[in-house]
Amino acid sequence: MKKIIGLFMFLCILSLLKLYANNNENEWVLHTQKEGVNFYVKIDTCENGQQYFFVKIENTNIYKVDIKYKLNVTKNIIDGSKLGEIKMLATDNQIIGTCSIAKLSFPILFSNAILNDIIIYSEIFKNE
C-alpha cells in the first residue's frame, strides 16, 4: 500500500511539473549567456497555427557587438539549422524573433517540443 501511495504522489508531482512547464513555454526563458549577450528562447504559435521556436538576443554590454550565430533544433529532420549574423548596438538593444522575422524563428516539425530541443552556438565580437 505504501508503494502505491508513493507512486501516486510521484505521478502527481510529475503531472504538476509538466503542467508548469507547458504554461511557461510561451514566456521568454534564458537559454545562454556569452560575453554580455543573452540568448532567450520560447515556443509560441503563429496565426497560421504552426508552432515555432523563437529566439531573442539581448546585448547588455556598453559597446556594440557583432554576433555570428547558429541555431540547431535537435529533432527537426528538415531544415535542421539556421546561420546568421547580427550587428547590435549598445546596452539593452534587443532583437526578437517573431512570426514575421524568420531569421530568429524556427518552425517545429515534431510533436512534444521542449525548449531544450534548441541549441545555440555563437561568436561575439566587440565592434567599436
Indicate whether 80 belongs to any domain: yes
Handedness of CA 95, 80, 66, 122 (dihedral sign): positive
More confident residue, 6 or 94: 94
Indicate whether 4 belongs to any domain: no
CATH of the domain at 109: 2.60.40
As a whole number of angstroms, the distance between CA 86 and CA 102 comes to 13
* CB-CB contact of 69 with 120 (8 Å): yes
Reading the block at residue 119, the C-alpha cell is 541549441
Mean pLDDT throughout 36-49?
Answer: 92
Indicate whether 114 belongs to any domain: yes
Helices and strands (H, E) in the chain, number of each type: 1, 8
> How confident is residue 16, by pLDDT bands cut at 50, 70 and 90?
very low
Instruction: Return the ∠ at Cα 10 (arms to 8 and 15), rounded to 5°.
Output: 95
Q: Is the pLDDT score of 42 beyond 70?
A: yes
The reported pLDDT for the residue numbered 19 is: 39
Indicate whether 18 belongs to any domain: no
Indicate whether 60 belongs to any domain: yes
- The domain tally of the chain equals 1
Indicate whether 7 belongs to any domain: no
Task: Residue 73: name the closest of 119, 28, 105 by CA.
Answer: 119
The reported pLDDT for the residue numbered 103 is: 77
Supply the range of the domain harboring residue 90: 28-127
Indicate whether 9 belongs to any domain: no
